[in-house]
C-alpha cells in the first residue's frame, strides 16, 4: 500500500462488497453479539475459545425448564422432547457435521472425559508396542490425559510418550509420516489434533490414519478446533475414534456436552473392553439392574455412554446443530476460506503468521506473532475480542456463521495501526 489511507479505503470497499454478496450474511442476526467498550457490538474473533450464543438457545432451554416444572419425572416420556431419548435428537445432525454414520457418534460428557474413555478401550499396550504419539505442544489437557494413561498402565511418560514437531511451529505432515515409518512398531496409539489449537494448522486425517494403520497403530483425533470449523469425513478417514468439545465453533455454551466418534468396525464389536455405565447398557435391560447385573453394551458409539444425558446442556447443542444444517458445512467452509484469505492478505506484509498460508491447510484461525501483550490490550480497548497466548501470540478466528468481511478489514487496520502508530 503506497498510500496507507488509500489502501485501507480500498480494503474497506472490498469488505463491503464481499458482505453484500455473502449468502450467509443473515445468520449473524441469529446470534447474540456482545457489546464492546463503546456499547456497540464488539468485533468477536474468539469463537475458537467460546462460540457466541444462538438466539434459539433460550426458548429450547426454557421448554425443558417448563417440562421439568410441569411434568417433573414424567417429562422423561411426556415432555415436548422426551428426556429418555433426548440425546438421540442430536445424533443425525452430529453425524452429518463430522462425516459419520449416525450409530458412530454420541453426545456425552466433556472432551477430556471422552478421551480417557476412548484410551481405556483403544490404548492396549503389549510388549514393545506401548507408546503413544502426540504432536509437540499438544493442548495441555490432552498431554495430561495421555501421560496419566501411560502411568495407569505402569509405563513411563518420559520413555513412552513420543512427540512429533516443534512447539509453536507448523508441523510438516511428512515428519509425522516419517516418525510412523521409523517407529511405528513401538506405537500403540496415535492421538493427534485435527486442527492444532495454537497454530491453527489443519492435518490430513485420512493420510495420517492410513500411515498409522499400515504400521499396526490405532488412531484417534482430538477435534476440539475442527468440529464446526472444517469439513470432516471421519468414517471415510478410517480413524478408530475421535472426540470433540461443543463450546467453540459449535456454539453450545460454556462446558457444553462433548461428542465422540467410534468407527463402526469397533462400535459393533461389543466385546471391546471399556469403562461401563448404565446409559451405555442395552436399553432393553437398562432398568432391570436388580435382575440383570451384567453389562451388555449397546452397539455403536452409544455403548460408551456412562450416565443419562444432561438435558439442559444438550438443548443449546440442538439449536446450534440446526444452524449448521441450514447453512451447510460446504458453504461455511467457502466463506471461512475467504475470511481468512482476506485477513491473511491484509496482515502478511505487517505480521508474522504462524498458521499455514494455504487455505486448505487451516481452519478459521490465524495465529499472529506480535510484540507482546500491549498490542492485545490496545485491541481489546478498541472493541476487538481476540485471544492472547504467552508470550507473544494473538489468535484471531473470524467465524463464518457470525463474522463479516468488514470486521476483518477493521481488525487488520486496527492491528497494523497499533503496531505502527503515526
pLDDT digits (tens, 9 = 90+) for 377-387: 999 999 999 99
Which of 294, 324, 354 corresponds to the end of one domain? 324
Asked if 388 and 274 sit in the same domain, the reply is no
Which of 324, 340, 355 corresponds to the end of one domain? 324
Which pLDDT belongs to residue 169? 87
CB contact set of 358 (below 8 Å; sequence gap of 6+): none
Cis peptide before 391 (omega within 30 of 0): yes
Distance in angstroms (rounded) separating the CA atoms of residues 312 and 61: 6
Strands 43-44, 393-396: pairing is unpaired
Q: What is the pLDDT of residues 121-142, one digit of tens each?
A: 999 999 999 999 999 989 999 9
Helix axes 205-214, 173-183, angle to 10 degrees: 10
Which of 324, 341, 368 corresponds to the end of one domain? 324
Mean of per-residue pLDDT scores for the chain: 95
Which pLDDT belongs to residue 419? 64
The helix (run of H) or strand (run of E) holding residue 367 is strand 366-369
Distance in angstroms (rounded) separating the CA atoms of residues 127 and 354: 39
Closest CA to 412 of 90, 39, 45: 45
Range of the domain at 245: 61-324
Q: What is the pLDDT of residues 179-200, one digit of tens each?
A: 999 999 999 999 999 999 999 9
**Scanning the structure block, which residue is given the C-alpha cell 480413524?**
239
> CA distances (Å), 293 to each of 117, 297, 308, 372, in order?
21, 12, 18, 59
CB atoms within 10 A of CB 112: 18
Distance in angstroms (rounded) separating the CA atoms of residues 410 and 10: 12
**Residue 261 located in a structural domain:** yes
- CATH number (domain holding residue 181): 3.40.640.10
pLDDT over 90, % of the chain: 90
Q: What is the pLDDT of residues 300-358, one digit of tens each?
A: 999 999 999 999 999 999 999 999 999 999 999 999 999 999 999 999 989 999 999 99
Closest CA to 26 of 416, 300, 402: 402
Asked if 103 and 232 sit in the same domain, the reply is yes
Strands (DSSP E) along 279-351, which ranges? none
Asked if 96 and 192 sit in the same domain, the reply is yes
Asked if 244 and 367 sit in the same domain, the reply is no
**Residue 236 located in a structural domain:** yes
Which pLDDT belongs to residue 3? 58
* Residue 230 in this model has a pLDDT that exceeds 80: yes
**Scanning the structure block, which residue is given the C-alpha cell 506405537?**
187
Which pLDDT belongs to residue 422? 43
Helix (H, G, I), strand (E, B) or coil at 312: helix
What pTM was computed for the model? Answer: 0.95
Provide the number of structural domains found in the chain.
Answer: 2
Mean pLDDT of 4-28: 93
Asked if 182 and 256 sit in the same domain, the reply is yes
Distance in angstroms (rounded) separating the CA atoms of residues 77 and 353: 53
Strands 352-353, 366-369: pairing is antiparallel
pLDDT band at 167 (very low <50, low <70, confident <90, very high): confident
Helices marked H in 289-328: 311-327
Q: What is the pLDDT of residues 51-90, one digit of tens each?
A: 999 999 999 999 999 999 999 999 999 999 999 999 999 9
- CATH number (domain holding residue 23): 3.90.1150.10
CB contact set of 256 (below 8 Å; sequence gap of 6+): 245, 246, 247, 250, 313, 316, 317
Cell of 40: 456497540
The answer to whether residues 263 and 239 touch, using CB atoms and an 8 Å cutoff, is yes
Mean pLDDT of 18-33: 98
Strands (DSSP E) along 31-180, which ranges? 43-44, 105-107, 131-135, 161-164
Amino acid at each position: 500500500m503506497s498510500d496507507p489511507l488509500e489502501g485501507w479505503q480500498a480494503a474497506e470497499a472490498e469488505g463491503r462488497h464481499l458482505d453484500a454478496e455473502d449468502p450467509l450474511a443473515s445468520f449473524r442476526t441469529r446470534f447474540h453479539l456482545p457489546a464492546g467498550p463503546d456499547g456497540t457490538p464488539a468485533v468477536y474473533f474468539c469463537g475458537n475459545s467460546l462460540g457466541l450464543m444462538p438466539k434459539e438457545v433460550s426458548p429450547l432451554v426454557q421448554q425443558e425448564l417448563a417440562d421439568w416444572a410441569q411434568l417433573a419425572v414424567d417429562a422423561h416420556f411426556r415432555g415436548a422432547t422426551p428426556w429418555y431419548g433426548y440425546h438421540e435428537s442430536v445424533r443425525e445432525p452430529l453425524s452429518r457435521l463430522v462425516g459419520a454414520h449416525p450409530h458412530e457418534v454420541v453426545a456425552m460428557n466433556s472432551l477430556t472425559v471422552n478421551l480417557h474413555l476412548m484410551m481405556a478401550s483403544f490404548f492396549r499396550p503389549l510388549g514393545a508396542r506401548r507408546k503413544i504419539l502426540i504432536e509437540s505442544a499438544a493442548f495441555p489437557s490432552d498431554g495430561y490425559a495421555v501421560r496419566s494413561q501411560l502411568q495407569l498402565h505402569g509405563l513411563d511418560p518420559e520413555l513412552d510418550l513420543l512427540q512429533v514437531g516443534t512447539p509453536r511451529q507448523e508441523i510438516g505432515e511428512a515428519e509425522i509420516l516419517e516418525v510412523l515409518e521409523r517407529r511405528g512398531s513401538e506405537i500403540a496409539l496415535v492421538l493427534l489434533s485435527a486442527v492444532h489449537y495454537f497454530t491453527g494448522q489443519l492435518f490430513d486425517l485420512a493420510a495420517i490414519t492410513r500411515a498409522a494403520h499400515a504400521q499396526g497403530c490405532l488412531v484417534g483425533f482430538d477435534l476440539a478446533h475442527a468440529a464446526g470449523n472444517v469439513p470432516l469425513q471421519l468414517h471415510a478417514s478410517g480413524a478408530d475414534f475421535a472426540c470433540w468439545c461443543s463450546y467453540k465453533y459449535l456454539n453450545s455454551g460454556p462446558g457444553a456436552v462433548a461428542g465422540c466418534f467410534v468407527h463402526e468396525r469397533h462400535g459393533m464389536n461389543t466385546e471391546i473392553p471399556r469403562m461401563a455405565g448404565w446409559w451405555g447398557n442395552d436399553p432393553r435391560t437398562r432398568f432391570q439392574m436388580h435382575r440383570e447385573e451384567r453389562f451388555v453394551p449397546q452397539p455403536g458409539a452409544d455403548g460408551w455412554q456412562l450416565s443419562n444425558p444432561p438435558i439442559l446442556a444438550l438443548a443449546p447443542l440442538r439449536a446450534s446443530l440446526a444452524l449448521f444444517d441450514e447453512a451447510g458445512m460446504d458453504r461455511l467452509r467457502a466463506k471461512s476460506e475467504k475470511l481468512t484469505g482476506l485477513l491473511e492478505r491484509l496482515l502478511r506484509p505487517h505480521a508474522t503468521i504462524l498458521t499455514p498460508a494455504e487455505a486448505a491447510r487451516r481452519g478459521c484461525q490465524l495465529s499472529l506473532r506480535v510484540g507482546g501483550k500491549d498490542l492485545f490490550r490496545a485491541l481489546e480497548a478498541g472493541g476487538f475480542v481476540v485471544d492472547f497466548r504467552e508470550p507473544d501470540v494473538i489468535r484471531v478466528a473470524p467465524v463464518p456463521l457470525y463474522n463479516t468481511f468488514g470486521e476483518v478489514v477493521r481488525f487488520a487496520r486496527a492491528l497494523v495501526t497499533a503496531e505502527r502508530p503515526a
